[in-house]
Structure 1
Amino acid sequence: MSTSLHELTVPLISPGAATALLEAYSPATDRFLASPRHTLLGRGTAAEIPHDDRPLTLRIREALEARRRPGAPAPVVLGSLPFAPDAPPALTVPEEVHWAPPLREDPLVALPVPHQEDRPRWRVTEVPAPERYGEAVAAAVARMRAGEFDKVVLARTLELTSPREPDLPAMLRRLARRDPAGYTFAVPSGPGRTLVGASPELLVSRQDGRLVANPLAGSAPRSTDLAEDVRRAVALLESPKDLHEHAVVVAAVREALAPYCTSLEVPERPTLVRTAAMWHLSTTVTGELTDVDTTALDLALALHPTPAVCGTPTDVARAVIAESEPFDRGPYTGMVGWQDADGDGEWVVTIRCAEAEGRTLRLFAGAGVVAESSPEAETAETAAKFRTFLDAVGASL
């Protein structure tokens, strides 16, 4: 089935257009993604991207070209890719795609979400337990100080179970309204599973031959006290440990993207971005592509995984993650986003997220571990990062 996207595009001048797509989301049929550039809702399934031995970019190109129609906007693929490079993708060409302006430009996004009187009671299990996570951090620090590797990102999970299935549309609305300037998403991640989250980090976007990447590394929890919140932000900007961690990530991004660009602009020092829960060190990298056929996903795959979600050297960090984390990351620290048949698109780092399956929610959070790290600080950092999702579902540690 093919549908003209011209017929489905929400007029850019329409107040409430973005929130209308947010309110219309249904987990049974839809895929939702809001970014600082667009809000989009994909409905139905025209084609699923298969999992086979061919390069992923080829599989996507064939699926999109098969649905290209003269005079119609380029068809779109939408969904998520897992952390593990050999795991199946969860990407679909929707039957319909509805577009709207960014949520942050919609005045209705400021309206409060109706209070949910009967939120489920959650039973929370930490995997691994905080003390076990701290031991893994300490072991990694000892190996780094011995010169084995430079950085690793270690994650832990919270498994939330309740007597009934969670209200995913309500959860998505709360996440979107909490951080409307970020990247909010809800997409199927496998049979019976839905990936929901609110990531602050753009992996890479491509539009008309120009790329933007926005690596984040180095973070501090926000405070409800204004003076303390400002103090934490300033301390993060001056932290040698966090500045070093950030510089490692930016260098890796520069190295990965440079072969694709005629020019690449990388600021010398990071700035700050904030979410409702965290401060992050941020660098916005921009570039002009050498080859117009290089797609957004080509760039994303060249970057993935960055040291911000894996570590460095990559192969060693992956091995340490496999040894240290008692769970499969699945979609966590993969990427979620979209790409059209012309190669334009946005791919977001899959963090601040949860995977819903039946009556269970599995939350993820990680911390960048370097030689100067302490188990206590990294455990506290993951707890702070869990706050984004815990607040959205009405649970706590």
Structure 2
Amino acid sequence: MAPKKRKDDSESEELPASEDSDSDFIDSEDEKPKKKAAPKKKAAAAPKKSPAAKKVKTEEGEAKPKAAAKPKPKPAGPTTGPTDNGWNFSGDSVIYKDYGCKPSAKIAGFDFDGTLCVVKSGAQFALGPNDWRLYNGKVAAKLKQYVDDGYRIVIFSNQNSIKSKLDGKAAENVRGRFDGVVGALGVPVTVVAATQKDKYRKPDTGMWAFFSEQLAGGVAPDVSSSFFVGDSIDGGDEGFAQALGLAYRTERQEFGPPDDLGAAPGAGAEAKVTVSAAVPDNAKIVGIFAQLAARLQGVGKGFESRAFKKAGDVLGSYDKPITLASLKAVGALPGVGKGSLAVIKEVLETGTTAKLTDPLPGKEDKPAAAPPAPGTNKARDEALAFM
């Protein structure tokens, strides 16, 4: 009897299912017990970059950090200034004030110093807020007539003594002079003053543009029915008017000759001004020099006026009597030239000088020229070249 065959492994009883029973082939590596994973170490914090490192990265091409946003500029327009009493400023080079004007397309524009008023003391520049006089007795009445005719009176004035210090002493003096003169005129006025040498200073037209955009009350000025009056000592007033196409007149064409500044209104030409002299006997000569300086300043003869004022100051501090015998020594004093010496000699010999009664050497009263067509700048260029 043949022995029974042993069951083949393939015929063995089915084993219970296990995790590996679904695979016919098992990788030997899978048979090894898996090692427990070591806990991950925390990465050390990266060191802070030094400024030098940042710079290197930037040079290698990394994007630069965004710069802090710049503050937005303030919108253009009037900004309340540092004063009360109605005065305002725009930026750091324009001061302005309106004294109750009504909008009008017709503008009667005026310069200030040498046109509506003059320096009462005879100095080259005003010594304080009260150092002014109206140009002559016709000014107030003439401006009132313009207001009655529907014009708006606007003063456009260069006031470079203020510069950017709009709340400084010089600005206070200038504002005081404007307030005083406008009060004496007795009519509604708008004042615009340029305080620095920039686009607002005449003959540039920035003040007119500022007025038109900010202060005209929504009524655009009509150039064809407007005009400007100025003294044109340096060509700035005439250049300003011609650049805008405004009709232009000098102060003498508008108001006539100025009142004599060496005397109070209605007094004679030789009325004395207040002076001081180290030697009392020299006071008369010093006073005459002060009168001459004042008269010349009033008609725009600034150079001659300054020469007489300087000589008068020197003579006032001279500590010896001025006589015909001492003329050589007096002529050697700084600031006393041949012209001044001739006046001194005349006063010593006659008690006065013909220069006090001679016609004032002002500008000729030529008829006002017709305004150029708007946009024509030839005359303005000539004025600037002259300056």
Scaled by the length of structure 1, what TM-score is found? 0.22
Name which structure has the greater RCO, CA cutoff 8 Å, separation 6+.
1
Larger radius of gyration: 2
